[in-house]
């Protein structure tokens, strides 16, 4: 069994945290908790389950579900368990209109009793640990008191003990999902206050955390865990020190990373994927940021992005991109 108490996770991100991204991240960090993209209960019940839920990586992974029907969530949770996920999470933070039309996502913040029912259904359907990912509020319901009431109800009626809080409100009309991740200001203070008011709950903070130093600061300030989203995708290698980051030794910047091992593992993975009929760009598009901010990093990125579509079966492309860009010289 994995340590689901490790205090660092990578956020669920649609189109980004698919099985290939998670495979790559698992080669960089063994302990960080990974999340799937959100999968709706409806899709699981009607769609291709292997395609939606199949995993390629080991280690702790949480399936994020979306939905507003307790019965469908219960069934989806049961199916999720069969696919070897370690825990389940409910999305109550996504403001996209497509999601709102199904009346789930962030607009569920207005219906804490329904969220509590969904959480109970998820736990009953799976017997796995469950958590909820939500915002600090939605427009019109923005105060700390509203947030605290939401957490209280979901905890007491929904028997939920783990809350992942994106420290911004969601504005349900007029802003795109991406604007909703940058325009509403971050209110970390509200998340810290939640931890003080509910010390027995696991409170995980999310939103705007850029690196492991930021993450460590949040943990040292009393929160239980930190979830990193965009920075984990744009600059995946910040996670190379994650496994030792929360030990007494702190962040070990001197460790060298075994690129040869990673090259070999990627090549083997791509070989399998290509044999199954896959194209390498569906995997390697997630590696574009591997040398973010480093000398040669842009050349690496350009080489990879120009060639991964042209040579859709070239399993050595990652290695060649490193050699051609000189990033490791
Ligand atoms: C491309 C993209 C897709 C996202 N998809 C989801 C999703 O499926 N479920 C979810 O709960 N949040 C989703 N989010 C929100 C992130 O999980 C996270 O809450 C948000 O990006 C804030 O964290 P950050 O500032 O560390 O990126 C998505 C974010 C991005 C950038």
In a domain, 206, yes or no: yes
Number of domains observed in the structure of the chain: 2
Residue 317 sits at the vertex; the CA angle it makes with 316 and 320, to the nearest 5 degrees, is: 90
Regarding whether 217 and 107 lie in a shared domain, the answer is yes
Average pLDDT for residues 254-263, to the nearest whole number? 85
Name the more confident of 311 and 119: 119
Among 250-254, 263-267, 272-276, 324-328, the minimum mean pLDDT is found in 250-254
Range of the domain at 300: 259-325
Return left, alpha or beta for 67; rule: phi > 0 is left, psi -120 to 50 is alpha, else beta.
Answer: left
E strand map for 113-201: 130-138, 162-170
Regarding whether 198 and 313 lie in a shared domain, the answer is no
Regarding whether 183 and 73 lie in a shared domain, the answer is yes
For 133, list phi and psi in degrees, rounded to 5. -110, 125
* Location of structure tokens 């993450």: 215
Q: Evaluate if residue 60 carries a pLDDT over 90.
A: yes
In a domain, 231, yes or no: yes
User: Does residue 174 sit in helix, strand or coil?
Assistant: coil
Q: Are 8 and 245 in contact (CB under 8 A)?
A: yes
Spatial separation of the C-alpha atoms in residues 86 and 8, rounded to whole Å: 15
Q: Tell me, what's the pLDDT at 174?
A: 85
Kindly report the CATH number assigned to the domain that includes residue 140: 3.20.20.70
Question: 44 is written with which tokens?
Answer: 């699981």
Regarding whether 106 and 59 lie in a shared domain, the answer is yes
Q: Tell me, what's the pLDDT at 1?
A: 57
In a domain, 2, yes or no: no
Question: 133 is written with which tokens?
Answer: 């990912």
Spatial separation of the C-alpha atoms in residues 105 and 66, rounded to whole Å: 7
pLDDT class of 172 with cuts at 50, 70, 90 = confident
In a domain, 29, yes or no: yes
Report the separation in Å between the CA atom of 155 and the middle of ligand 1, taken as the mean of its atom positions: 23
In a domain, 308, yes or no: yes
Ligand 1 nearest-atom number relative to CA 38: 8
Question: 313 is written with which tokens?
Answer: 């079966």
Regarding whether 163 and 98 lie in a shared domain, the answer is yes
The residue from 213, 245, 277 where one domain ends is 245
Pocket of ligand 1 (CB under 6 A): 11-16, 37-38, 64, 91, 93-94, 133, 166, 181, 206-209, 228-231
Regarding whether 296 and 167 lie in a shared domain, the answer is no
Regarding whether 169 and 317 lie in a shared domain, the answer is no
Residue 107 annotated among the catalytic residues of the structure? no
Regarding whether 236 and 281 lie in a shared domain, the answer is no
In a domain, 3, yes or no: no
Regarding whether 294 and 237 lie in a shared domain, the answer is no
Question: 29 is written with which tokens?
Answer: 């960090």
Kindly report the CATH number assigned to the domain that includes residue 313: 1.20.120.1460
In a domain, 20, yes or no: yes
Q: Tell me, what's the pLDDT at 99?
A: 64
Regarding whether 303 and 160 lie in a shared domain, the answer is no
Report the separation in Å between the CA atom of 36 and the middle of ligand 1, taken as the mean of its atom positions: 11
Distances (CA, A) of 193 to 44, 82, 144, 277: 36, 37, 9, 51
Q: Evaluate if residue 100 carries a pLDDT over 70.
A: no
Q: Is 248 exposed, middle or buried (0-12, 13-18, 19+ CB in 10 A)?
A: exposed
Among 149-153, 250-254, 297-301, the minimum mean pLDDT is found in 250-254
Q: What is the residue with the minimal CA distance to atom 19 of ligand 1?
A: 166
pLDDT tens digit string along 45-58?
Answer: 999 999 999 998 88
In a domain, 1, yes or no: no
Spatial separation of the C-alpha atoms in residues 11 and 164, rounded to whole Å: 10
Q: Tell me, what's the pLDDT at 121?
A: 98
Report the separation in Å between the CA atom of 229 and the middle of ligand 1, taken as the mean of its atom positions: 6
Q: What is the residue with the minimal CA distance to atom 5 of ligand 1?
A: 13
Regarding whether 267 and 229 lie in a shared domain, the answer is no
Percent of the chain with pLDDT over 70: 95
Among 34-43, 44-53, 178-187, 239-248, the minimum mean pLDDT is found in 239-248
Residue 230 sits at the vertex; the CA angle it makes with 225 and 231, to the nearest 5 degrees, is: 75
For the entire predicted model, the pTM comes to 0.96
Regarding whether 279 and 155 lie in a shared domain, the answer is no
Hey, what's the torsion of the CAs at 308, 318, 243, 62, to 10 degrees? 30
């Amino acid at each position: 069994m994995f340590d689901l108490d490790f205090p660092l996770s990578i956020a669920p991100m649609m189109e980004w945290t698919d099985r290939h991204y998670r495979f790559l991240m698992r080669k960089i960090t063994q302990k960080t908790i990974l999340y799937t993209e959100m999968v709706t209960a409806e899709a699981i019940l009607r769609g291709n389950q292997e395609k939606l839920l199949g995993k390629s990586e080991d280690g702790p992974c949480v399936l994020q579900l979306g939905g507003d029907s307790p019965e469908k969530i219960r069934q989806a949770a049961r199916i999720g368990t069969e696919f070897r996920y370690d825990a389940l999470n409910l999305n109550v933070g996504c403001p996209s209109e497509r999601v709102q039309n199904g009346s789930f996502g962030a607009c569920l913040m207005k219906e804490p009793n329904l969220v509590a029912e969904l959480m109970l259904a998820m736990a009953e359907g799976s017997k796995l640990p469950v958590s909820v990912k939500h915002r600090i509020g939605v427009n019109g319901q923005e105060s700390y008191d509203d947030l605290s009431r939401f957490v209280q109800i979901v905890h007491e009626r929904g028997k939920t003990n783990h809350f992942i809080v994106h420290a911004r409100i969601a504005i349900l009309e007029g802003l795109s999902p991406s604007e909703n991740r940058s325009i509403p200001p971050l209110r970390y203070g509200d998340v810290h206050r939640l931890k003080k008011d509910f010390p027995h709950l696991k409170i995980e903070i999310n939103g705007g955390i850029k690196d492991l130093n930021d993450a460590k600061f949040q943990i040292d300030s009393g929160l239980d865990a930190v979830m990193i989203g965009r920075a984990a995708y744009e600059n995946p290698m910040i996670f190379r020190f994650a496994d030792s980051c929360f030990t007494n030794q702190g962040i070990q910047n001197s460790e060298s990373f075994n690129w040869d091992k990673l090259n070999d593992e990627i090549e083997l993975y791509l070989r399998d994927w290509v044999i199954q009929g896959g194209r390498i760009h569906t995997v390697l598009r997630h590696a574009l940021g591997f040398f973010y901010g480093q000398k040669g990093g842009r050349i690496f990125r350009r080489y990879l992005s120009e060639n991964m579509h042209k040579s859709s079966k070239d399993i050595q492309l990652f290695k060649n991109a490193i050699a051609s860009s000189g990033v490791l010289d």
